[in-house]
Amino acid sequence: MDAEREAVGVVGVGWVGLVTATCFAELGHPIVALDVNEEKVESLRRGEVTIHEPGLAELLEKNSERITFTTSMGEVLAATRILFCCVDTPPTYSGDADLSRVRSVVAQIPEGSEHALVMKSTVPSGTGASIRRDKPDLRYVSCPEFLKEGSAIEDFMHPDRVVVGVDEGSEEAADAVERLYQPLGGEMVRTDVASAEMIKLASNAFLATKISFINEIANVCEQTGADVIEVARGMGLDERIGASFLRAGIGYGGSCFPKDVSALKQLAGNSGYHFQLLNAVIEVNELQKRRVIAKLEKHLGSLADKRIALLGLAFKPDTDDMREASSLVLSARLQGEGAEVVAYDPVAEESAASMLPDVEMASSATAALEGADAAVLVTEWPEFSELDWAMVRESMASPVLIDGRNYLDSDALRAAGFVYDGIGRPDPPDGT
């Protein structure tokens, strides 16, 4: 097979699928991308990208001639021999991953066909083995994705590593996957399917653990007068620890960490092992979102009838993704305390509106802050660091700012007259 010309099928054009399809097209491969949602396929054919991912719309437009969008599996099977499965695996009520969409893709690959199925969807360890028990002839490769929302194209084009999990009988398919990724560099990790599946879950769970760990350190810093930013800097310089994912804040969110941590916990539980550490990681993350309430009460007393402005709603900047965003729990808790909540997010307003029906949506940060008794920075959008905070202070009813991501310049804000409170940051010597 010639990797340069190899046609690639992508099944499921959500965020992972669309990035995968677009980036392989950029590498020169003809792509046939399928989704069951006709409306989505129609709008992608028109070149409309509804997902907010920097650079994606432009790269798709540039490569539009190489990508065919379809709802027909027959078309994918006819045009390609290698299919990337990128359908979602949302959590069920039990916290297990829902594999129904994955199963439906597998069911559509004819018995005895030469097609290779490459699993990009995040699935519990053991899924590949169970698929091959049902379909022993299927050429199956596990190739988990490690893309981050907001920098997905950069991550795809410059991977730290590419994990290729393969069991006996599918080696040729795994070689083909390796050839596809070869031009991107990055260490190739060839392993068995079960280990590849576990690498994905363990990586996300470890990163979530790092975040909950630094958040607990931040909470202790608040008791002892240390500054978590200094602590993280000092820790991160140790190569064994590393500097990334040590930013304390009001908890992790998104479609991946909460789901995958829970899926790994359930997977362990289902196989008879109680994964104690992950219980703590989840609990710390839940409590972290709620600690903002106590911080606000420290400055304002009762929150009843207080107007609180949320700056940012998305689970992180550069995305409009609201899944498991800390803002959801935070705004509900504020409303539970009787506060009036007003919010502004540069791109997530539309996706947030239906999830936050009782939250007033402002058209700008300054509009949200006008008349507010306090502001909480929830998502570190760059535009918040560029605000004229001295002017903002004049428009607020009281100048209280809780920086939930330790993003703003605390000294500058205090100089502008704010009562500034971050996460794990010491109070100034004069106690303002």
Burial of 346 (0-12, 13-18, 19+ CB in 10 A): buried
Radius of gyration for the chain, computed over Cα atoms and rounded to the nearest angstrom: 24
7 vs 18, which CB is nearer to ligand UGA? 18
The one catalytic residue in 23, 85, 143, 256 is 256
Q: What is the nearest approach in angstroms of ligand UGA to the Cβ of residue 88? A: 10
Between strands 116-119 and 139-142, the pairing is: parallel
Compute the least distance from the CB of residue 250 to ligand UGA, in Å. 8
Task: Specify the residue, 327 or 410, whose C-beta has the smaller distance to ligand UGA.
Answer: 327
Helix (H, G, I), strand (E, B) or coil at 376: strand
The yes-or-no answer on residue 143 being catalytic is no
Q: Minimum distance from CB of 20 to ligand UGA (Å)?
A: 12
Q: Which residues would be at the binding site for ligand UGA (CB under 6 A)?
A: 122, 145-149, 204, 207, 211, 245-247, 249, 252-254, 256-257, 260, 315-316
**Cβ-based nearer residue to ligand UGA, 221 or 392:** 221
The pairs formed by 281-287 with CB atoms below 8 angstroms and a separation of 24 or more are 281/205, 281/208, 281/209, 281/212, 282/258, 284/212, 284/215, 284/216, 285/208, 285/211, 285/212, 285/215, 285/251, 285/252, 285/258, 286/251, 286/329
The minimum distance between CB 121 and ligand UGA, in angstroms, equals 10
Instruction: Tell me if residue 360 falls in helix, strand or coil.
Output: strand
For the CA atoms of 30, 36, 37, 42, the dihedral, rounded to the nearest 10 degrees, stands at: 40
Query: What is the smallest separation between the CB atom of 83 and ligand UGA, expressed in angstroms?
Result: 19
- DSSP 3-state of 137: coil
Nearest-angstrom CA–CA distance, 122 and 86: 9
Which is closer to ligand UGA, CB of 7 or CB of 325?
325
In the complex with ligand UGA, the residue whose CB is nearer, 30 or 236, is 236
Q: How far apart are CA 313 and CA 122, in angstroms?
A: 25
Task: List the catalytic residues.
Answer: 256
